[in-house]
Structure formats: C-alpha cells, structure tokens
Amino acid sequence: MKTIDYYNISDSENLRLYILEHTLVIEEMICNAIGRILNIDWEKSKSFGFSSVSLSFNQKVTIIQDLKDVTSEEIKKFGYLMNIRNKFAHVRTVDTWESFFSVAGNGKEIRGSFNKWYKDKLSSNLIEDELINKFYFKNLCADLIFSLDNIILKSALDRLNEKTDQHLFLIQYLELMSAMQKMPNGKQIIQGLETKLGRKF
C-alpha cells in the first residue's frame, strides 16, 4: 500500500475534493485500527475491505466511537467529520464552508467548536473565512489521525502484553513439569493428572 504523508494529504484547491481525500485517509486508518483490534486483515475483510458489501463510512466511525478508550471530545470530533464528509459527498449545493454551515443541522455548533478548538493555532495571515475553516478542518483531521494512531498503538501493545503473558505462563508450566518429574512419585502424579484431564503434559 502506498505510504501517505498524513501532514500533507491533499493540496487540492477544490474544497469538496480536499475534504473527500482527507476523509478517505481517515476511513482507511479506521479500518486499520478496527482490523488490529479484531485481529483481521482489514483489506481482505468483507466488512472493512473494498467489497460492495463493506460497512459504510458512518458505520465504521460509529464502531470507533463505541470503543471504551475514546474520549467524549474525540467522539464529537468523529461525529463532526461524518457530518462534514456526508454533506460534501452527497449534497451538490454544499461546495463551500458557508453553504455547509447553513445546510447542516449542527452547522452552528461545528463552527463554534472549530473556533474553540483551533482559533489559537490560526496564523494572522489567514483572514478569509473559507481558508480559515479549511485550516480548522485540516486540524480536525490531524487530531483524529493522532487519536487513531493511539488506538492502533494501544492495540499492538495489548497484543504484545498478551503474548508476553502466554510466554511467561509457558515458561512457568515447563519449570513446574520439570520440578514435578524430579520429585519422588512425580511421574506417577503427572500420569494421574493426564488420565484425569484426558490430555498429555
């Protein structure tokens, strides 16, 4: 798969294309994160891969929002991304930020949250509303990419800890079997356990 520069996803002047290119990358990361958690190859998966029966963008986002480690603010940000993506992808007349804010039921709320979250990062040379909101959207995507990176990393660490625990258990088991065989009647005890449990040690 082609490597993506997450800090320079799109340089398109067309706002609709800019938004869709960003959300495609985030959708891919969502599939990757869910695939790691479920221990599946997401690209070959019917649910998360490229087949006609795969889950919708909204369904994938909803699964991420349901994860217990996702904060309420991250849930809100994923929801806003869904709203933005759906309006720009499905409503022909939504082709500017102003048209989005006026059409979206929660447009005023999203505008307010954008200002609250990202106004401090704004450069003084950005004065046009459309460019400011494009900048805010890019920061929203950067936040969500960071959140998804954390989910992927946590999943990898959990799996590593699980394997470490299994290896420790195996080492302890082998040491126990070795110690039991050295005990008087140890072999008979092991044979008795094998007969009782119906398995070889």
In a domain, 180, yes or no: no
Cα(16)–Cα(105) distance, rounded to whole angstroms? 19
In a domain, 7, yes or no: no
In a domain, 36, yes or no: yes
Per residue of the chain (201 residues), what is the pLDDT tens digit? 556 676 678 889 999 999 999 999 999 999 988 888 888 898 888 888 888 888 898 899 999 998 888 999 999 999 999 999 999 999 999 999 999 999 999 999 999 999 999 999 988 788 899 999 999 999 999 999 999 988 888 876 666 556 665 666 666 666 666 666 677 776 776 666 667 666 665
In a domain, 9, yes or no: no
Residue in 39, 36, 93, 82 with CA at minimum distance from that of residue 60:
82
For residue 142, what pLDDT is reported?
92
In a domain, 150, yes or no: yes
Total count of domains within the chain: 1
Which stretches within 56-185 are classed as H helix?
Answer: 57-66, 72-90, 97-103, 107-118, 129-182
- 44 DSSP 8-state letter: G
In a domain, 35, yes or no: yes
Tell me how far CA of residue 144 lies from CA of 30, 38, 77, 79, in angstroms. 10, 20, 7, 11
pTM of the prediction? 0.74
In a domain, 161, yes or no: yes
In a domain, 201, yes or no: no
Domain that holds residue 131: 15-171
Residue in 37, 28, 38 with CA at minimum distance from that of residue 3:
28
